[in-house]
Structure 1
């Protein structure tokens, strides 16, 4: 695994075995902020949302969510499922807090050092529950208002993108809940629609992908 600097100056990781990056090389920070915060979290009307992230990865999405929760004084419960956690040395090389919010660096590293498989209050507005598990066979016990679907691309990790899993996510969303993902492929859009979602194609992040998807569970 190697460190690479993306177009907006933020770092990402490259996985040679998959020939895949953790984030867009067009801008890791720009991508996460646009897709998961602006189009996801901030689109939710729930005052204190429960967020589910598929793929904790570098912790960037969680950190941006924490910062947004504190900025808006909005209590967020954040659950993230990850099968292959990163080591501390790799995390520190990414240097996300140094670029994004140096004064909050302690909270970023607290996200990574927090114990797995139990809720941990990182700040008054943000509780993290990291689950070390395989999403494809995970038995959900909670319901969510927002889903960040941030698995590796379908051609790299096809087992993460199938109808059964999208059906499961639809069932775990509260009415009015939303799911956002960077992948706008037609096959993904159709699976989301088959699961019951109302799906929108939205403009992608500045300088990045042309389109992304937001799927909503319409209230009855």
Structure 2
């Protein structure tokens, strides 16, 4: 999620291609560097999620979780891509601060991506919810301001109060297989489970709390196994991919974006992955010095433990 800095904690920067973006002084990182906010959101999320294809075939409401609202570039790019399709969109954004979108709205002309959505973004900033007609469909956009790991923990506890949060069965155990077949109820606070997730947190080194195994385990547990869901993210690191696998996801190689030759896409079904990680990747992960998932909000690197290696080998993706 975007960081704790106040309104003075952001700068408007011009990228080498001439587009503008935000730079966080607190984290020392630029939002959507190199190719810019819209181009990155198109490449990483719209195209990689096959969003237009999925929306064209979809009946009923399509739910998107936007993890890391930030300056709203991802959310607005997805809304523009979806507007020609008739199915209603429920967009649920998360962040632990409103400062980036507030700063972005103050610089909307230079950023250039707000356009006809500017008043809706202002409603998200001020009321944290807005409903409107957009092209061929209705949009219900909600914003949850708060700590995302805590929100997930609370949601899992509401669903299964006696379950130990952040811990799940082995990826191919009978308990896990039984869990896969159970449809998820609608979560009373977060709403219906998503069909797609835009995951855009600051890097693990700067924001480790957003990249832990307990977080992704809880996120996976809130998905509906009967509702295919995909989640791209910009990281291609071994530790990130191992974390997603041990959380229960299937994981594949993601499309290139401006600065990265590869990204990562995770899903709760193999059918949404065009290039799943294979046994060659698995063997590289075993040799990596940075592959063991973080279980606490402290950044560190370590090779796989014997227990993690054993669990990876039994994951359904590699059987």
TM-score normalised by structure 1 residue count: 0.86
Whether the 8 Å CA contact 1:200–1:215 is kept in 2: the answer is yes
Gaps of 5+ in 2: 1-9, 156-186, 271-319
2:265 is the alignment partner of 1:214: yes
1:197 is aligned, of 233, 249, 269, to 249
Larger RCO: 1 or 2 (CA < 8 Å, sep 6+)? 1
> Could you list the per-position Cα deviations for residues 20-63 of structure 1 after superposition, in whole angstroms to 9, with x for gaps in the alignment?
11222333221111111111261646443211111111111111
Query: Higher Cα Rg: structure 1 or 2?
Result: 2
Matches within 5 A, 1:29-48: 29-40=38-49, 42=51, 44=54, 46-47=58-59, 48=61
CA distance in 2, matches of 1:162, 1:91: 31
Deviates more, 1:44-53 or 1:182-191: 44-53
Q: Please state how far the C-alpha of 1:204 moved relative to its aligned partner.
A: 1.4
Q: Is the 8 A contact 1:59 1:112 kept in 2?
A: no
| Root-mean-square deviation over aligned CA pairs | 2.4
Q: What's the counterpart of residue 60 of structure 1?
A: 73
**In the alignment, what sits opposite 1:179?**
231
**Distance in 1 separating the partners of 2:254 and 2:102:** 35
Where is the strand percentage greater, Structure 1 or Structure 2?
1
Deviations 1:181-211 (A, max 9, x none): 1111110000001111111112212x32111
- Segments of 5+ residues of structure 1 without an aligned counterpart are none
Equivalences for residues 87-126 of structure 1 within 5 A: 88-95=102-109, 99-100=112-113, 105-114=115-124, 115-117=126-128, 119-123=129-133, 124-126=137-139
Task: Please state whether the residue corresponding to 1:144 is helix, strand or coil.
Answer: coil
Q: How many residues align?
A: 214
Over residues 157-177 of structure 1, what are the superposed CA-to-partner deviations in whole Å (9 max), with x where a residue is unaligned?
A: 011100011011111223321
Counterpart-to-counterpart distance in 2, 1:208 and 1:71: 30
Scaled by the length of structure 2, what TM-score is found? 0.61
Q: What residue is the counterpart of 2:19 in the other structure?
A: 10
- Residues 230, 268 of structure 2: 8 Å contact kept: yes
Match status 1:166 vs 2:175 = no
